[in-house]
Amino acid sequence: MFHWLEKRPFFFSVGVFLVIAFAGLIEIVPDFAQASRPVAGTKPYTLLQIAGRQTYIKDSCNACHSQLIRPFKSETDRYGPYSLSGEYAYDRPFLWGSKRTGPDLHRVGEYRTTDWHENHMWEPTSVVPGSIMPAYKHMFHQNVDLETAYAEALTDKIVFNVPYDQPGMPKLGNSKEDFPAAQKMALEEAKKIAAEMKNQDVKDAVARGEIPEIVALIAYLNSLH
């Protein structure tokens, strides 16, 4: 068999390639599967955080901000530990991005506060002099779409088996009939965020049982760490 291969360079090359490829897969696939599992402590997004993430996408925040810290000293010095694949286990879609008009936000929840985000979204230059980011004042008056956020959470649970059975997670059944209970949990979370904000219109809206987009967005940004 080996003498036959030695006399036929093409087949010999193909055989060597197949052996190396198979060995490579044996080495790589198990590590890749392990790395893609949720990092310890990683939890699914709450309903309010999902709504904030949808707002983040709707207003194209991901067009100017990445959420992927690369393993280079210049990146880790500025943004914190480099990103691990398991940290994105519950992200659909991923918001890694490739363009940074603004800073990376993957760990923004570790060094920015609710108060900072409120001021920044209302008037960016008030906290970042010279910022070219536009103001997002409409978020303070426009209510978030919780029903769509609930539909996404329900899809993640049924289709992707996201573990929405952890403490503090929205109570999800298998239909929209369970929406009121999840909505109540989102409102309770929103009240905690609104209590840290200064905008009286936002406070009044949450007290009425409404959730402005800015509250949901801050909930999402605070979860990034």
Separation CA 165–CA 178 (nearest Å): 14
pLDDT at position 221 is 98
Contact by Cβ (8 Å): 182, 150:
yes
Say which residue the tokens 């007290």 belong to: 207
Closest by alpha carbon to 195, among 183, 207, 212, 186?
A: 207
- Residues near 95 by beta carbon (within 8 Å), at least 6 away in sequence: 53, 56, 57, 62, 66, 67
Cβ neighbour number for residue 221 with a 10 Å cutoff: 23
Separation CA 218–CA 115 (nearest Å): 9
In Å, what is the CA distance from 101 to each residue of 56, 61, 123, 133? 15, 10, 17, 9
57-101: pLDDT as tens digits: 999 999 999 999 999 999 999 999 999 988 999 998 999 988 899
pLDDT at position 36 is 56
187-219: pLDDT as tens digits: 999 999 999 999 999 999 999 999 999 999 999
Confidence of residue 31 (pLDDT cuts 50, 70, 90): low
Separation CA 70–CA 170 (nearest Å): 32
Cβ neighbour number for residue 163 with a 10 Å cutoff: 12
pLDDT at position 27 is 65
In Å, what is the CA distance from 222 to each residue of 104, 128, 183, 215? 14, 19, 19, 11
Contact by Cβ (8 Å): 80, 108:
no
Separation CA 27–CA 30 (nearest Å): 7
Could you tell me which CATH class the domain 47-222 is placed in?
mainly alpha
| Residue 218 φ/ψ, nearest 5 degrees | -65, -40
Domain spans, the chain:
2-35, 47-222
103-159: pLDDT as tens digits: 999 999 999 999 999 999 999 999 999 999 999 999 999 999 999 999 999 899 888
**Joined tokens for residue 104:** 């990376």
Helix, strand, or coil (residue 110):
helix
